[in-house]
Structures are given as C-alpha cells and as structure tokens.
Amino acid sequence: MTRRVQITKGILWFITGLAAAVTIVRFTRGLGATTVLSDTTPWGLWVGFDVMGGVALAAGGFVIGAIAHVFRRERYHHAVRPAILTALLGYAAVAVGLLYDLGLPWNIWHPIVFWNPRSPLFEVAWCVMLYLTVLFLEFLPVFLERTRFKGLYRTLLKAQLPLIILGISISTLHQSSLGTLLLIMPFRLHPLWYTPHLPELFFVSAICLGLVMVIFESSVTAWLYERRPHTAMLSGLARFAAGAIAFYLAFRFFDLWHRGNLHLAFENTFEARLFWVEIAMSALIPLVLFLVPRVRRSHTGVFVAAALGVMGFLLNRIDASGLAQVWATGTDYFPAWTEFAVSFGIVSFFALIYLFIQEHFPVEKEIVDEEEKWRQRQLFVLPRFDRLSQVWLGDRTFASRRVYSLLFVVALVLGLTLTPWQPLVEASPVQRARGGEVLRVGFPLGTVQFPHAEHVERIGKDRCGVCHHLHRPGDVGTPCTECHADLYLPTRIFDHVAHVRVLDGNRSCARCHPAEGPREAATAAKCSACHEKDMMAANEVVTRFERTDAPGYRESAHALCIACHRKEAENPDVGKPDLFRCATCHRGVEPHGEAVLEASLATAECTPHR
Amino acid sequence: MLEHWIALARGPFLRLALLAMALGLLRQVALQVWEISWAFHRAGDQVVPWGLAIRRNLEWLLPWRYLQRRERRAYNFTSFVFHVGVIAVPVFFAGHVAIWRQESGIGWWTLPPAVADWLSVLTVAALVGLLAGRAANASSRGLSRFEDWALPVLCIVPFVTGLWTAHPLWSPFDAQAVYLVHLLSAELLLILVPFSKLVHMVLFWVSQTSTELGWRFPPGSGERVRLSLGKQSEGV
C-alpha cells in the first residue's frame, strides 16, 4: 500500500462519514431536512449527478467490452476487468443514489411487479436491474478465480462473450432511455439541449464518456499504486475517444442547425454560455488534445484531456436534467451542503469498495500481487511505537485502520451536529390581510399598512382587476393570499385532479388538451377559455397568466406594487418622486422602521429581492 | 453576551460532545473487538477464557483486591474514592437528571443534594491527592506522560465550577462565567474521552480478554520473532 493510497483512502473515509451523517437525517427526517428541492425544482443534484451522471460514467463497461471482445482488439484486454468493475460499482451507486431521491424509497421494488410499459422510467428501472445482474455475472469470475469453485468459474468464462453482448444491448437501451426520459419535457428543456434525437445523443455521448472514463480511471489507478500506465493501450483508447467525440460533435451541431436552433448558441444568454462551456470541456478541448500525437503519448496529456472530458460530459447530464431547465422554471435552486455530501459520499464509498476489490481480487494482477507481497512483509516488520505516548502502533494495516475509522467518526459527528434536522426550506404561510379601509398585510402581520379604500378611490371603482387579476370560481375580489399562499415559496394553483373529476373523467381530456402533440400546460387551452368571468385581462403589471403556480407572496406583491409605484413616481402630475422607496409602504416595521426609511432613501430605487 | 455563549454551550456544543463521546467509544470498542478476533484466529489455543475474563474484571472493579496490596495503599484508596465521585456526581446529580428529563423525557434516581456536594468536594480532594501521589513517587513520575498530568487537572475544573454553579454564593466569580466554564470544560472532557486514556471506561471491560488471548502464541511464533528481528541464525 503506497502513501498515496493511504491518504486518498483517508479523504474518502472522511467524505463517507459526512454522507453517513446526512444519510441518517435523510431517512429519519426526509427530503425536506436534507435538500432544498421544491415543486418547481423536483430534480436536483442527486438526479443530475448521481443518477444521470452515474449511469453515463458506467458506460465504460460495455464500450471496452465491445472493443476487446466483439471487435477482438487484444491490446485492450487489460482494461476490461477494471472497466467492468467500474460499471458494476457505478450502477450499484446509481441504485443507492436513487434510494435517497425517491420520496417513498421502500417502494423501489414496484417496477418489478407493477408494470407500466408506456413509462420511460419503467424501461430505465428494468434496464438497471438487468444490467446490474449481467455486470455481476461478468465480474463474478474475478471473485471466483482464486477460490475452489472451479466449475462455476469455467462455466462463467465460457459465457463471457454472450454476457458481454447482452450487456451491450441492455446498455444501448438504457443509456438512450435516460434521454427518452427528457423527451416528455420539450417546453421545459432549453432548445440548445432538447431534440427529438435525445435518446441517440445520450447513447453517443455515453460512449464518449465511457472511453474517457476508462482512460481517466486507469491513469488514476496507475498514479495511486505507483505503476507505469499501459501507454500503448491508453493512446489507442484516446484515438477511439477522438473518433467518438468527433462524431458526437458533428451529430449535435448538425441537429442544432437542422432544427434551426444554432443561432441560440450565439446569443448573450446564460444558456448559450453554459452550452459553450459544456461543449468546450466535453468535446472541443479533449478532441483537439487527443488528435495531437505528442499529447496522446504523454501520460499527463492523456490524463488532462480525459479528466476534462469526464467533467464535461457529467456537466452535460447535469445541464440536461437541471441547469438547462432554469429558463423555464425560473428557480434559484442551489444544492445544500447535505446534497453535496451525499453525492460525493456515495462516490467515495464506492471508490473505497473499488480500491478494496483491486487490492484483494485479481482485477489487475500486478496490483493484487504487489498488495499480497506487501501484506506478507508486514508480518515481519519491527514493532513501531508512538513517540509521545510510547504506545505500540501495530503494523501498517492496523495503524491505517485506526486512522480511517477516526476520520470516519469525526466526519460523522461533525455531520450529525451540523445538519439542522429540520426542513431547510421552511414554509411561511401568509395570513390574510385584515381591516377595512386600511389593510394590514405582510409578514409578520402589519408590516405594511395598505390604504385599500384610498387606492380604490384613486384607481377607480371599476378597475379592481389591476390588482385582483384572478378570482376563485364564483368569487369576486379574491384576496391575494388565496393563491400566493406562502411568503417565499410558489404555490400550485391549478388543480388537475379536481378538473378531471368535475369534467367527467378521462373522456374530457380534449376539452383542454389538443388531440395531437404534447398534453401539457403550454399546449392546453388557456384558463380564460372557460373562466372568462373569473379573470381580469392581463395588464401592464400582471402578465404571466399562463403559469400554473403562483409565485411567493412577497415576490408577487413587490412586483405588483413597485411596478405601479414607479410609474406613478415618474408622473409629474402626481408629484411624489419618492413613491417607490421601501419606506413608502414599510412604515410599520418595528423596531427597525427608522433604519428601513434611511436605507431606502439612500438607495436609488427599490428592487424586489429575496 | 455570555447568554449567547451559554446557549451555544448548552445546545450544539453539548450535542457535539455527547455524540463525539458516544461514537468515538463505539469506534474504540469495534476496533478492539476486531483486533481481539484477529488475535483469536492467530492464537495457538482457540478457547475464549470467558470465566477468567469475567473474574479478572470483577477483581479489578471491586476495591478489596488492590486495597489488600501492600504498596501504595493510600494512593489506591484515593483512586477508588475518585472513581466513585467521578461517576456518581455527573450521572446522579439532581440538576443533571432534571436536564435529561426535560430534553429527552428520561430520568432516574438522584443523589440527595448534600451528598452530591460532599462527594464533589471529596472528588476534588482525591484528584489533588492523586496528583500529589504521582509527583511524590519517583518511578510513577518517570512513567507519567503529558496526559497523565493534564487530565486530572482538567478534571478538577468542572467539579469546582459545578459546585459554584449549584451554590453561587460560594463563588468569588461571576455566576454566568462560572457556568460557562463548567459547561465548556465538561464538554472538552467528554470529547477527550475516546481519544485519551479515559477510553478505559469502555476498554476496561475487554482488555482482560485481549490480554489473555494475546499471550497464547500460535505454533511457529518463535520463528517469526526471529525473522522480524533479523536473527534467523540464532536459537530461540
């Protein structure tokens, strides 16, 4: 065991300890206490990184299997066992990560019994189960090689080729079905990522990621165990990777151009910048590096290119399942530290298992033989004593076991103390405004004294709709709090179940949804088609009628009030240039009333903020 | 100002200290069991001496065996008194049990307040006596490490400040500051338990077993010792 391995293992144990603490909180207190996910952002880091990224990272197994066994490139036989091990552990990590993500994790076995063949998730679930089984059978000979189960070992070796072919077929289905999963959100995923060819694109990018991952992983293993990497094999793989990446780039850009969306990449938007960062990291830079023969022959060069590629393709999965949906959802989700801890903790835990298997089973013969020799030598070393306490330290295995468990426990204690054990995003329900002429609104109640009667008089008795833009059925002047029910969180206001029930079940889909094309909020009939009398026309302030969730109370009230007040402040007839400052409305803020007033006079204008 | 620190020390710091002690001790026990089983598999005579281990534990737990010893009688007796106090006062003091009952709903029998006070005084006296005994004897002075001096001194702090917290009138210092020092020193001690010789509060129970097992050499051990020392040519 080298010093590098020991330090790496220590770090991995520490992260695993943090994740263990979060795991306890996750499964006793639920998702609310460990994530900042919401109805608008139900997919966070755990889906993007652990599930989408994890599956793609594991693609090396089938890619190397195909190269070495189906195309019979003997040179790559070295890489098969580590790649299959990575794939096996990667898929196991995905299954474990999914348990954290599912709201009802104990129902994870449902796809086995309750079949829903029209769901892409059904395909995903079955592919994961089948492929995990196949990978286990592919890897089993490594466990059996130095045991007495010779018969089973030989049978499995004979079945190796069919198993690998089976693995390739299932992987093809599975990698692409994760792309299929995103096909149901054409209006949520940004057009730079959305394409009807997402399944094929996911498959191609998985091959690229699989190849760079194998390069990355064997460079790292070689560095850890201080061995020379198989240069010929790595540069060969780099050549394969260059080809795959070139095809991926061509495919992606041709598809963008063909659908007429290429111009979006050259606009000055967050998505365009994200797109170029992703393309540069995943494809452009690695491709250029892999094409230079000198880089291909250098260990550092190949490693840097592969590491960039791995991060870039991971970013692609994270973009597709999260970042490229922000433009539609407007979410300001950023993962909590607990989410990072779980994501990195699962990776660390499975990395530890990877190192353990490498050291105890013949995955790469040189490593396990070296380890075996090292363990034998440890039996005959002189005892070592701690200088300070004169306590026997035991042999190296003994000592490192003490250090690892210490790091794990320290991280576990830290994690358990730092985790809040209560919902990270707290609901703050808004109370209904009270009073007659002057309404007391805000949170806590009475922060803002809203002169309702005065506003009615000034704006006009027939123009309630400027503010009361939507009513509950059969109501007029429905208060803001009916829909903007929480101070900060959005509220879901469209009740699909209730509509289905009232409109006579499944026969009524066509009342709102088109017969062809996607059945979703964007294509459905507008609410005003039926609820004309409940709704006011959109005005200069209220424009977003198409949303099926109402923004938080503060956001909506600020948007409504400040927009009008700013307009009126600029109106010379009104003659109140300070009308849009905070203290105009926030008079009742105690005990900080004076401070708010001063602050608002100091700032040029009041901006809604969270 | 101090209220803020006291709130921290009573809340998160206390949880951290208790967790660190509990999980740290669990780690020590787990490692010990692992190492015992390892020693067991390598031992020549693979019989676990349960009876012997239990008898030894009881012998060392109850005072009369080592009180019968000739040498350093006073020191041994003081040590026994200290151990009674250091366990009884923190666990059975009425104020501590009230906090447990308030936080977790679990409570237990408590010491009468006067007994708790006298026991605290006795414990502090015993600690001072133990330190003096250690300093007076040349051979134990030579064997002492840093923690052998530091831990008894650190142990005195929560007892003295605890007494002052229970009886603010006896204290020459600000009551809140005393309470804060009481909390923080006790928490420091709790955190140190799994990482210092205080770990004997759990390892005591298994050390007899490991000692018994450790001395049963497997066949061929002499050969290995010679190999390790690089003296293959010499006889055992």
- In angstroms and rounded to an integer, the radius of gyration of the C-alpha atoms of chain B is 22
Q: Which of A95, A325, A96, A79 lies closest to A222, judged by CA?
A: A79
**Residue A415 to chain B, least CA–CA distance (Å):** 10
Residue B190's pLDDT is: 94
**Residue B105 to chain A, least CA–CA distance (Å):** 19
Residue A538's pLDDT is: 64
Interchain CB contact of B232 with A (< 8 Å) = no
* Cβ-based neighbour number of residue A152 at 10 Å: 13
* Cβ-based neighbour number of residue A29 at 10 Å: 15
Query: Which of B12, B34, B228 is nearest residue A381 as measured by Cβ atoms?
Result: B228
Measured between alpha carbons, how far is residue A8 from residues A129, A350, A359, B1 in Å? 31, 13, 14, 43
**Residue A385 to chain B, least CA–CA distance (Å):** 14
User: Helix, strand, or coil here: A439?
Assistant: strand
User: Which residues 4-23 of B have a C-beta within 8 angstroms of A?
Assistant: 12, 15-16, 19-20, 23
Contact B229 A405 (CB under 8 A): no
Residue A384's pLDDT is: 66
Contact A398 B27 (CB under 8 A): no
Contact A419, A33 (CB under 8 A): yes
Interchain CB contact of B224 with A (< 8 Å) = yes
Residue A543's pLDDT is: 59
Residue A609's pLDDT is: 39
Gap between the Cα atoms of B60 and A171, Å rounded: 64
Contact A390 B228 (CB under 8 A): no
Q: What is the pLDDT of residues B57-92, one digit of tens each?
A: 887 777 777 777 777 788 888 888 999 999 999 999
Q: Where are the domains of chain A?
A: 1-34+338-378+386-426, 35-335, 438-602
> Which of A407, A417, A422 to mutate: most B Cβ within 10 Å?
A417
Which H or E element spans position A550?
A: strand A549-550
> Which of B36, B228, B229 to mutate: most A Cβ within 10 Å?
B228
Gap between the Cα atoms of A259 and A326, Å rounded: 22
User: Helix, strand, or coil here: A491?
Assistant: strand
Residue of B nearest to A382 (CA): B228
Contact A382 B145 (CB under 8 A): no
Measured between alpha carbons, how far is residue A440 from residues A435, A589, B15 in Å? 6, 12, 42
Tokens of A320: 């597709």
Q: What is the pLDDT of residues A107-154, one digit of tens each?
A: 989 999 999 888 888 888 898 899 999 999 989 988 888 888 888 888
Measured between alpha carbons, how far is residue A405 from residues A88, A470, B216 in Å? 26, 60, 28
Q: Where are the domains of chain B?
A: 49-216
Q: What is the pLDDT of residues A491-513, one digit of tens each?
A: 878 888 888 888 888 888 888 88
- Show the CA angle centred on residue B24, arms to residues B21 and B28, nearest 5°: 130
Low-confidence stretches of chain A (pLDDT < 50) are 389, 445, 590-592, 604-610
Which H or E element spans position A291?
A: helix A285-291
Partners of residue A402 in chain B, C-beta under 8 Å? 31
Residue A387's pLDDT is: 61
Gap between the Cα atoms of A410 and B195, Å rounded: 11
Task: Report the number of secondary-structure helices (H) and strands (E) in chain A.
Answer: 26, 4
Residue B146's pLDDT is: 86
The DSSP symbol for A470 reads B
Residue A386's pLDDT is: 61
Tokens of A338: 């607990």
User: Helix, strand, or coil here: A492?
Assistant: strand
CATH superfamily of A35-335: Formate dehydrogenase/DMSO reductase domain (1.20.1630.10)
- Alpha carbon B173 to chain centroid distance? 29
Total length of chain B: 236
Q: Give A468's contacts (C-beta < 8 A, 6+ positions apart).
A: A476, A477, A478, A536
**Helices A160-183 and A198-224, packing angle to 10 deg:** 120
Residue A544's pLDDT is: 53
Q: Give A124's contacts (C-beta < 8 A, 6+ positions apart).
A: A174, A177, A178, A181
Place of tokens 């090292």: A374
Gap between the Cα atoms of A187 and A194, Å rounded: 9
Residue A394's pLDDT is: 60
Amino acid present at B162: G
Q: What is the pLDDT of residues A9-26, one digit of tens each?
A: 999 999 999 999 999 999
Contact A483, A551 (CB under 8 A): no
Q: What is the pLDDT of residues B35-55, one digit of tens each?
A: 777 777 766 667 777 788 788
Gap between the Cα atoms of A102 and B45, Å rounded: 51
| pTM of the entire predicted model | 0.77
Low-confidence stretches of chain B (pLDDT < 70) are 42-45, 213-219, 234-236
